[in-house]
Amino acid sequence: MSSLPADIHRIPADRLGALVAAMPKAELHIHIEGSLEPELIFQLAQRNRVALPYPSVEALRAAYAFTDLQSFLDIYYAGASVLLHEQDFEDMAWAYLQKAAADNVLHAEIFFDPQTHTARGVPFKTVIDGLSRAVDRAQSELGVSASLILCFLRHLSEEEAFATLEEALPFQDRFIGVGLDSSERGHPPEKFARVFARCRDLGLRLVAHAGEEGPPAYIWNALDVLKVERIDHGVRCVEDPTLVQRLAREGIALTVCPLSNIKLCVFPQMQQHNLAQLLDAGLKATVNSDDPAYFGGYMNQNFAETFASLPLDAAAAYTLARNSFEASFAERSQKVKWVDRLDESFARFAA
Ligand code: ADE
Ligand code: ZN
């Protein structure tokens, strides 16, 4: 695969904003329930006759002032309560995939939280059928490839994760892997050692949120106990230089979510975000939107705000986009085609 394009230095600095918007990219960290915009929440609430504790779209949006991960999760789970039918899941995922296409996302690996829905009596089949329909439409109508990753909620027990896996197995051809999300502090990766071992035996790809709010030890254990292939967030790795060396040496990707980190107060302001530091340390960082409806923007907004605030240049843009393709779970031959499109995009800006 290609390294930096030879003529990258010819890209004018004032074209950087346009470049990061136009360049092809992959999104590897998006919770589909976090793409549910307030307007769609209200529409679905009306359609499904679900009562919401907010009088209007504006009042709901005004409640999006978070102090930490848990303060966000409380609202995020309440928002998801309007999702009941297959059509609701399709509408939600289709809305996201159209936005992804507009941001030049060629490939998305999409998290979903089945336990948030099955706990309310929505069958797993309803969730996966709706999401799969949107995924299929994205390929045929938008030329965007998408895959699904089932996330276990870490505030629930491992036994409940096993029960969810059992429900999911008849649909194993519809999702490529499993992840671990929800409240990080107090719920270390090792709590899910046995269910991840089983998923590994089943041939599923493995990822986990670690080092968002939790300490570097959670990243070590996600790697060594759960044997994950990517770390979601991982920004707190910088507190442990030995861990940084290991992540760099093994080329383990971090799916970093800059706007999320600001909204959840992981960093006080974008100027203090450590994305540039992660790249300088040789880490395979990527940029992602996490929960774009709640955190102020989709992929290109994340790129725009990080590039406006941090010492990142065209080489960093190329590296981030290339990392996103290389760290994806797509076939190698497909990755080569995407990187070729990335090179073409940079060549156009250097011309
Ligand atoms: N679920 C949705 N977004 C999340 C995040 N940023 N961290 C943990 N769990 C999540
Ligand atoms: Zn996340």
Q: Is 93 in the pocket of ligand 1 (CB under 6 A)?
A: no
Distance 76 CA to ligand 1 centre (A): 9
For 121-133, the pLDDT digits (tens) are 999 999 999 999 9
Q: Is 116 in the pocket of ligand 1 (CB under 6 A)?
A: no
How far apart CA 11 and CA 314 sit, in angstroms, is: 7
Helix 86-102 vs helix 38-48: angle between axes, to the nearest 10 degrees?
160
Give yes or no for residue 2 having a pLDDT over 70: no
Local confidence band at 97 (pLDDT 50, 70, 90 cut-offs) = very high
Give yes or no for residue 267 having a pLDDT over 50: yes
Q: Count Cβ atoms below 10 Å from residue 241 Cβ, excluding itself.
A: 11
* Beta carbons of 342 and 326 less than 8 angstroms apart: no
Task: Report the nearest atom of ligand 1 relative to the CA of 260.
Answer: 6
Give the active site residue among 184, 212, 213, 326. 212
Give yes or no for residue 1 having a pLDDT over 50: no
For 217-247, the pLDDT digits (tens) are 999 999 999 999 999 999 999 999 999 999 9
| Ligand 1 pocket: which of 117, 185, 209, 213 to mutate (most atoms within 8 A of CB) | 209
How far apart CA 310 and CA 290 sit, in angstroms, is: 20
Q: Is 33 in the pocket of ligand 1 (CB under 6 A)?
A: no
How far apart CA 167 and CA 62 sit, in angstroms, is: 37
Query: By C-alpha distance, which of 34, 49, 90, 24 is closest to 291?
Result: 34
Contacts of 147 (CB under 8 A, 6+ apart): 108, 109, 110, 135, 175, 176, 329
How far apart CA 195 and CA 67 sit, in angstroms, is: 31
Distance 181 CA to ligand 1 centre (A): 5
Is 212 among the residues known to form the active site? yes
How far apart CA 258 and CA 215 sit, in angstroms, is: 18
* Beta carbons of 110 and 29 less than 8 angstroms apart: no
How far apart CA 24 and CA 107 sit, in angstroms, is: 9
Question: Is the pTM above the cut of 0.85?
Answer: yes
For 150-203, the pLDDT digits (tens) are 999 999 999 999 999 999 999 999 999 999 999 999 999 999 999 999 999 999
3-state secondary structure 83-116: CCCHHHHHHHHHHHHHHHHHCCEEEEEEEECHHH
Q: Count Cβ atoms below 10 Å from residue 132 Cβ, excluding itself.
A: 20
Query: By C-alpha distance, which of 341, 301, 293 is closest to 321?
Result: 341
How far apart CA 343 and CA 349 sit, in angstroms, is: 10
Domains of the chain, first to last: 8-350 (3.20.20.140)
For 51-65, the pLDDT digits (tens) are 999 999 999 999 999
How far apart CA 188 and CA 214 sit, in angstroms, is: 8
Q: Is 69 in the pocket of ligand 1 (CB under 6 A)?
A: yes
How far apart CA 133 and CA 31 sit, in angstroms, is: 17
Q: Is 260 in the pocket of ligand 1 (CB under 6 A)?
A: yes
Residue located via tokens 């060629």: 106
Q: Count Cβ atoms below 10 Å from residue 239 Cβ, excluding itself.
A: 12
Q: Is 211 in the pocket of ligand 1 (CB under 6 A)?
A: no
Distance 151 CA to ligand 2 centre (A): 10
Q: What pLDDT was estimated at residue 3?
A: 83
| Ligand 1 pocket: which of 31, 236, 267, 295 to mutate (most atoms within 8 A of CB) | 31
Task: Report the nearest atom of ligand 1 relative to the CA of 182.
Answer: 9
**Tell me, what DSSP letter sits at residue 346?**
H
